[in-house]
Amino acid sequence: MKATLAALAGRMSFADTVPHSPPPLTPSRIRTELLSGLTVALALVPEAVAFAFVAGVHPLVGLYAAFIVGLITAIMGGRPGMISGATGALAVVMVSLVAQHGVEYLFAAVVLMGIIQILAGLFHLGKFIRLVPHPVMLGFVNGLAIVIFMAQLSQFRVPGPDGGQVWMTGWPLALMLGLVALTMAIIWALPKLTRAVPAPLAGIAVVATLVIAFGIDVPRVGDLASIEGGLPQFHVPAVPLTLETLWIVLPYALILAAIGLIESLLTLNLVGEITGQRGGASKECVAQGTANTVTGFFGGMGGCAMIGQSMINVKSGGRTRLSGISAALFLLAFILFASSLIKQIPLAALVGVMFMVVICTFAWQSLTILRRIPTTDAFVIFLVTIVTVLTDLAIAVIVGVIVSALAYAWSNATRIRATTHITPEGAKTYQIEGPLFFGSADGFVELFDPDNDPALVIADFMNSRVADQSALQAIEQIAGRYEAAGKTLQLRHLSRDCHQLLNRAGQLIVDSDDDPDYGVAVDYGVRIGSLGGAH
C-alpha cells in the first residue's frame, strides 16, 4: 500500500521530500496555500450544486454546507490539507428523507448526525479505522476514482427536445472533449516548466479565458444553477420537538454519521500516507461532528471529507490549514460577490481537473500486484472496488473488512495442529500449535483420541494461545471426554485466566513457572497489552 501511494505521489508531481509536519507559513508558502485554496474552491462549486440536486434541495443548501463544513474542519480537523464539504455519498441517503418529510427534517438530521460524530470522537472510536486492511484501502481508492469519473459524465449531457437529458453528439461533444483534453494537458505539462502557479488553477484559467474571449458555446457553471446568495443565517430546524421526530431523523442521522466518518477517516489515512502524517482520527471525528452540527443550524446539508478535492489541494501544494480555510472563504466570496464571474467558467475545465484527479487517485500499481499477493487480498481489492461503485463507500468498506476478517479467521482456523509423543512414563503428550479460538475449536477437539489414548494424557499449550470462551469450552469438552473414559488429562502452560475459567478441567491443570500471562474473554482496553505479550 505504501509503495502504491508513493507511486501515486510521484505521478501527482509532489516535491521530492514530503514533510512529516505542516511547513512554516513563509510568504512563498502562503501564496501557494492561497492559490491551492482558490483551485479547490473553483472545483467545489459544481460538486456542491450537483450534490444538492441529488439530495433534492436548493443549490445554496449544498454551497453553504461546503463553506461551513470546509471552514470548520480546516480549522480544527485532524489532518492539515484535507478538504471537506457536501458529498454524494451523503446526498444519496438524504434524498428519501427530504422527499418524505421536507428539508427542515434534513437540517434536524444533520444536527443529530454531528452530535453522534462528536461523541464518536470523544469516545475515541476513530481508532478502529486501523482495522481497515490495506486491500480494503486499495479497493476504496480505486472504487472512489471510478465514482468520481462517472460523476463527471453527467456534464456531457444536455437538455433534449422532450425536456429530458441527452448525450452530446457531433461538434458540441468534440469541442467539450477538446477543452477537457487541453485542461488535462496543461495540468500535466505545467509542473515540468514551473511550480509558481498550481497546475489545476492554470488549466482552469487558460481554458476559461479561451472560452470567454472567443465566445465558445459550451456548458458553463451558470448552466447548472445560480450560486448567488447571502450569508448563511442561523436557523433552528422547524420540526416538532417530539419523540416521533426523533424516530424519524435518528436512523438517517446514524447512517449519515457512519458514512461521513468512514469516508473522512479513510481520506485522513490516504492523505496521511502521502504527506507523511499520522494520528488525528479522534480529532477529525470531533471536527466533522462540530461542522455538521453548526451546518444544520445554518441551513446546510452537512458533509464529510472529499477525497477528490483533498487530492486537488495536495496536488496544488496545499499542506497547511490555510489552504482549507482559504478554499472555504473563496467559496463564500463566490456566493456573495463573484457569482457572475464564476458562472462563466466552462464545465469542461472543471471536468478536466477531476479527470486528472481520477488518474492520480486510482492505484494503478494494484493492478500489477494482483498476481503476487494472496488470492484473498486480490479478491478483497476487486470486491471493495465493485461494491463502492454499485452502492456506497461505507457499505464497501464494511463488506471488505468483514470478508478480510472471515478470511483471516479461516486461515487461522486451519493452523491448529498437534504433534504427539510418548513419555518414558508411558503418558501421551499433545504439543498443541496454532491459535485456539472459535474458528479452530472443532479442529482442536478432533486432534484427540480419548478411546485409544493411554491412561495419562498431557495437553501442552506452550506453542498455542487460547483466545476466547469458545476455546475454553473446547478444552473443557476434551477434559470431560477423558474423564468419562476414566483417564487423566493434564493441561500445561495455560494462562492464569484459563485456570480460573475452566470448571471441570480445573483440577487437571499443572502450574508452571513459564505459564503465559494473557487475557481470555476480557475487556479489550484492560488486557490487550498482556495478550500481545504472550509467548
State pLDDT tens for residues 190-216.
999 988 888 999 999 999 999 999 999
The residue-averaged pLDDT of 458-465 equals: 89
Query: Which is more confident, 146 or 517?
Result: 146
Q: With 90 as the cut, is the pLDDT of residue 534 above it?
A: no
The residue-averaged pLDDT of 361-386 equals: 90
Q: Which residues contact 329 (CB under 8 A, 6 or more apart)?
A: 37, 71
Determine the pLDDT at residue 333: 96
pTM of the model: 0.77
* 517 band by pLDDT with thresholds 50, 70 and 90: low
* 257 band by pLDDT with thresholds 50, 70 and 90: very high
Nearest by Cα to 330 from 145, 209, 182, 204: 204
Query: Which is more confident, 256 or 196?
Result: 256
Cell numbers standing for residue 349: 475545465
Segment of 187-201, 267-281, 521-535 carrying the highest mean pLDDT: 187-201
* 63 band by pLDDT with thresholds 50, 70 and 90: very high
Q: Do 57 and 96 contact (CB within 8 A), yes or no? A: no
The residue-averaged pLDDT of 375-391 equals: 92
Q: With 90 as the cut, is the pLDDT of residue 76 above it?
A: yes
* 529 band by pLDDT with thresholds 50, 70 and 90: very low
The residue-averaged pLDDT of 33-47 equals: 93
Gyration radius from the chain CA atoms:
29
* 508 band by pLDDT with thresholds 50, 70 and 90: low
Which ranges of 448-494 does DSSP label H, i.e. alpha helix?
469-484
**Out of 4-18, 183-197, 217-231, which region has the weakest mean confidence (pLDDT)?**
4-18
Strand pairing of 157-159 and 84-85? Answer: unpaired
Q: With 50 as the cut, is the pLDDT of residue 531 above it?
A: no
* 276 band by pLDDT with thresholds 50, 70 and 90: confident
Determine the pLDDT at residue 467: 82
Q: With 70 as the cut, is the pLDDT of residue 507 above it?
A: no
Determine the pLDDT at residue 89: 82
Q: With 70 as the cut, is the pLDDT of residue 520 above it?
A: no
Query: Which is more confident, 223 or 116?
Result: 116
Q: With 70 as the cut, is the pLDDT of residue 152 above it?
A: yes
* 525 band by pLDDT with thresholds 50, 70 and 90: very low
Which ranges of 85-162 does DSSP label H, i.e. alpha helix?
88-101, 103-122, 134-152
Q: Which residues contact 119 (CB under 8 A, 6 or more apart)?
A: 289
Q: Do 256 and 47 contact (CB within 8 A), yes or no? A: no
Q: How far apart are CA 472 and CA 437, in angstroms?
A: 8
Cell numbers standing for residue 66: 461546503
Q: How far apart are CA 8 and CA 236, in angstroms?
A: 44
Q: Do 39 and 201 contact (CB within 8 A), yes or no? A: yes
Q: How far apart are CA 330 and CA 311, in angstroms?
A: 18
Q: How many Å separate Cα 133 from the centre of its chain?
A: 11
What does pLDDT average to over the chain? 86
Q: With 70 as the cut, is the pLDDT of residue 482 above it?
A: yes
Q: With 90 as the cut, is the pLDDT of residue 344 above it?
A: yes
* 365 band by pLDDT with thresholds 50, 70 and 90: confident
Determine the pLDDT at residue 509: 62
* 51 band by pLDDT with thresholds 50, 70 and 90: confident
Q: Which domains does the chain have, with CATH numbers?
A: 2-12+24-101+134-158+165-238+298-392 (no CATH), 414-532 (3.30.750.24)
Nearest by Cα to 437 from 531, 514, 529, 527: 531
Q: How far apart are CA 19 and CA 46, in angstroms?
A: 32
Determine the pLDDT at residue 524: 31
Q: How far apart are CA 108 and CA 57, in angstroms?
A: 14
Output DSSP code: residue 130.
Answer: G
The residue-averaged pLDDT of 424-452 equals: 92
Percentage above 70 pLDDT, the chain: 88
Q: Do 145 and 364 contact (CB within 8 A), yes or no? A: no
Q: Do 355 and 149 contact (CB within 8 A), yes or no? A: yes
- Tens digit of pLDDT for each residue in 18-29? 345 668 889 999
* 518 band by pLDDT with thresholds 50, 70 and 90: low
